[in-house]
Amino acid sequence: MRIPGLDVFTAHPKVGVTVGPQVLLARLANHIWIGKRWAALHEAIEQLHPPHIRNMGTVIGNVCAAVNYYDIPTSLYAHRAVLTLSNGSTTRKVAIEDFYDGPRGTAVRPGEMVVQLDLPPPAADAGSAFKKIYKARRRATDLHKINAAAYIALDAAKEKIIDVTLAIGCIGDHPVRIPFAEAALKDQLATEAAFNAAAELAAQAIAPMTDAAWVEEIRTEWIRILARDVLAQAASRALSRHDPAEDAHLAY
C-alpha cells in the first residue's frame, strides 16, 4: 500500500536523492545512481545480510530507530543527509548531525514525523565508501562492531582534496563526524600518508564505548584502520570516476 507523497524516491547525480518514509532499502539498493554516486549508502545496504530486512526495512525507519549500531545512518553522515520533519502544518529541515541526541534520542518532537530525506548531489569528481567490522553476530546492545564511511571530492586535476566527510559509527550513542580529520585533509593531496594521518586523528578524537570482550585499544585500532581504508577507497573511487558524458544515456 503506497501513500502518495510518502513513497517518493528519486535519485539523480545532478539533483541528489530524495527518499520518502515508505521507500524500502531494497528499492534504493537496486537503483543504478545510488550504486554509482552514493556508493557508501549502497555498500551499507548491500551489507545488510538478512534479505528479509532489506525487503522490509525503510531508510527513514532505520534512521529514526536511532540505534547506535545501525549502518545506514553512518553512511548518511558521509553523504550529508538532510531530514525534513513535519507536524502537518509546519515543516523544518534538520541535518543528520543535528538529528541525534543522546541514547536513542532524536530531534523528532511530539506530533512530528520525518517525511523526507535528501542527499545533496556529489561533486563532479567525488567518491564515497563504507566499511564495517563485525566481531560477532549482531544482537541487542552489541558493541562488537565498528563502521565507517567517507566522502571525498577532488579538484578538477584530481589531485587535491576539496571536500571531505569522515563518519564513524557504533562508538557512542550515534555516529559522529570527525571535524579534525576533515580539516586536516582539506586542500591536501590525496595520498596514502594524508589518509594515515587523518585516520590517526580520528582514532585519537574518539573515546569509544568498550566492553570486556573488546577493550579500548582494540577498538581504537579498528577505528584507525577503518578510517584509513574508507578514505583511501573513497579517493580511489573519486579518481576512477570517468567522464560524466559516458553515462549520460543512463540519466532519465
Partner 1 sequence: MSKRIGSFAVNGKKRDTIIEPHMLLVDVIRDSLGLTGTKRACASGNCGACTVLADGQPVCSCLTLAVCSQDKALETVEGLRAADGTLHPLQQAFIEHCAAQCGYCTAGMLMTSKALLDANPRPSREDVKRALSGNICRCTGYVKIIDAVLDAAQKINAAREVAA
Task: Give me the residues that bind partner 1 (CB under 8 A), please.
Answer: 1, 26, 49-53, 55-56
Indicate the helix (H) or strand (E) that contains 169: strand 161-169
Complex with partner 1: residue 140 or 193, whichever CB lies closer: 140
51 versus 111: smaller Cβ distance to partner 1: 51
From the list 201, 192, 208, the residue with the least C-alpha distance to 224 is 201
**C-beta of 2: minimal distance to partner 1 in Å?**
9
Which residue, 32 or 56, has its beta carbon nearer to partner 1? 56
22's grid cell: 515508505
User: Angle at which helices 192-205 and 216-240 pack, to 10 degrees?
Assistant: 140
Whether 115 contacts 91, CB under 8 Å: yes
Indicate the residue among 113 and 123 with the shorter CB distance to partner 1.
113
| 116: alpha, beta or left? (left if phi > 0; alpha if psi -120 to 50) | beta
C-beta of 52 vs 109, nearer to partner 1: 52
CB of 49 to partner 1, least distance (A): 4
Output the smallest distance, CB 55 to partner 1, in A. 5
**What's the closest the beta carbon of residue 9 comes to partner 1, in angstroms?**
17
User: How far apart (Å, rounded) are the C-alpha atoms in residues 18 and 116?
Assistant: 7
Separation of first and last alpha carbons in the chain: 26
Query: How is residue 183 written as a grid cell?
Result: 580539516
Name the minimum Å distance from CB 8 to partner 1.
Answer: 17
